[in-house]
Amino acid sequence: MQGRDTLTFSQNLLALADHKFEKGGLVLQAYAPTIEKNFLKLLELNFYLRSYSIFYSVWKRDGRADKDKLDPVRVMNTLVYDKRLDVEQKIWEVSDKYIEYRVFLLMGYFELTSKGTAIRTNPYRKAFDFIQTTYDGMLKDRMGSYLLIKSIQRDPGILPILPIAAETMTDSLAKQTLMSAYHAVRPGKKALNFDLEDENGKTHRLDDYKGKNLVIKFWFTGCTGCAQIKNSMSVIQQKFKDDKSIVFLNVNMSTQKTHWIEGLKSGKYTSSGEVNLYTGGLGIRHPLVKYYQFASAPQLLLINRRGIVYSANPPIPFTEQKTVELINMIKEMR
């Protein structure tokens, strides 16, 4: 997508956001006389950015299909300089939606532009460096913290950077959030206990699996990637079928129980011999999911027989190589 086509795409997206903003704006304006001016701007900014929720997935999907189909710089600039985002930095700094929006846009941009290069550069570290040199103050720290946390599952090499990056931050919330994520996912940490129900209503807790090595898969119904790894996970399960010390758990993150049951019945995501558990409709807001920073799926978590996290970001078996790597990691965990 080039030139006029890119501009049309951007304008259509902005029109959609304007439509949603106009409807929500009527509600906000009704309360405007009783809301402090800057806080009202924050509410407007968050609401407007929520309208862009489809942008990241559409942009990455089209970009993967054809790198030249969408000019990311042109689209990024069109959105960044839209009048709705023309607010003071002190408003940006406390807007979670703005930080989320900018970080995912940067991650997508550097993911896309790093593909096909002669030397594959790490897109997340490049995005982090970009934030460090482009922004300042609280905004820089909060964007950097958010990006590193979201990159952990995509690049295991990011994990050692977290405490180093935290030392450079002056914003206490960004530093605390980053270090909490680091301590939660680093190997050797005691795993968080959980209470999850299976399809028969029986509650399962981590303590129920003392002496067992756990391979926990997080998924949701409708997740393409979750369906893609089903066969490779079945191969891995068969590899360890005679080892009674290894248990495979499936944790569903769908927000409706009926969707979870539909996913189980479809046979697209799980195999027999696995224990199927549900987050009770909380999805990514479930304490277990939030603790390990699993904001997408599929995700894997390895917990050894002593209840210690062996890996919170093991290889996801999308390829034969990753499948072999995961098998070897499970063997080592034993």
Is it the case that residue 98 has pLDDT exceeding 90? no
215 close to 248: Cβ distance less than 8 angstroms = yes
Residues 180 and 212 grouped into a single domain: no
**pLDDT tens digits for 204-232?**
999 999 999 999 999 999 998 999 999 99
**Residue 96 CB partners (closer than 8 Å, separation 6+):** 46
Is the same domain home to 12 and 99?
yes
pLDDT of 115 above 80: no
Please give the backbone phi and psi of residue 160, each rounded to the nearest 5 degrees, phi first. -65, -20
Same domain for 172 and 33, yes or no, is yes
- Answer yes or no: is pLDDT of 3 > 90: no
- The answer to whether residue 240 is domain-embedded is yes
Say yes or no: 143 and 256 in one domain: no
Higher pLDDT, 98 or 322: 322
Is 91 part of a structural domain of the chain? yes
Residues 120 and 208 in one domain: no
pLDDT: is 139 or 238 the higher one? 238
Determine the pLDDT at residue 274: 92
63, pLDDT greater than 80: no
pLDDT at 53 over 60: no
State which residues form the domain around 75. Answer: 3-185
What's the rounded Cα separation, in Å, for the pair 42 and 173? 18
Comparing 81-90, 246-255, 282-291, the range with the smallest average pLDDT is 81-90
In this prediction, residue 269 carries a pLDDT of 95
* pLDDT score at 75: 47
Nearest Cα residue to 11 out of 77, 68, 78: 78
Same-domain status, 208 and 247:
yes
Q: What percent of the chain has pLDDT over 70?
A: 69
C-alpha closest to that of 175 among 144, 206, 152, 201: 144
Domain count, the chain: 2
Q: Are residues 130 and 204 in the same domain?
A: no
Query: Are 8 and 152 members of one domain?
Result: yes
Give the pLDDT band (50/70/90) at residue 273: confident
CATH of the domain at 223: 3.40.30.10
**Domain final residue pick, 164, 185, 206:** 185
The answer to whether the CB of 50 falls within 8 A of the CB of 19 is no
* Claim to verify: residue 110 and residue 47 sit in the same structural domain: yes
CA distance readout (Å), 146 to 54, 94, 103, 122, 165 = 19, 13, 7, 17, 12
Between residues 90 and 133, the one the model is more confident about: 133
| Amino acid 119: pLDDT | 43
Q: Does residue 248 fall inside a structural domain?
A: yes
Identify the pLDDT of residue 276: 97
Task: Let me know whether 127 and 249 are in one domain.
Answer: no
Burial 25-42 (b: 16+ CB within 10 A, else e): beeeeeeeeeeeeeebbb
Query: According to the model, what pLDDT value does residue 26 have?
Result: 55
What pLDDT, in 10s, does the model give residues 15-26? 544 455 555 555
> Could you tell me the two tokens for 221?
């119904």
State the pTM of this model.
Answer: 0.69
- Mean pLDDT confidence for 197-208: 95
Do 269 and 236 belong to one domain?
yes
Q: What is the rounded distance in angstroms from the CA atom of residue 213 to the CA atom of residue 114?
A: 37
Q: Please report the pLDDT score of residue 48 as a whole number.
A: 57
pLDDT at 261 over 90: yes
* Least confident range of 65-79, 188-202, 217-231: 65-79
Of the residues 152, 185, 218, which one is the last residue of a structural domain? 185
Which of the listed residues 124, 151, 185 is the one where a domain comes to its end?
185
Q: Specify whether 108 is located in the same domain as 62.
A: yes
Is the confidence at residue 178, as pLDDT, over 80?
yes
User: Would you say residue 80 has pLDDT above 60?
Assistant: no
| CA nearest to 13, candidates 105, 64, 79 | 79
Q: What is the pLDDT of residues 304-332, one digit of tens each?
A: 999 999 999 898 999 999 999 999 999 99
3-state secondary structure string, 32-98? Answer: HHHCCHHHHHHHHHHHHHHCCCCHHHHHHHHHHHCHHHCCHHHHHHHHHCCHHHCCCHHHHHCCHHH
Give the pLDDT mean for 134-154. Answer: 86
176, pLDDT greater than 50 = yes
**CA distance linking residue 217 with residue 206, whole number of Å:** 14
Examine residue 190 and state whether it is found in any structural domain, yes or no: no
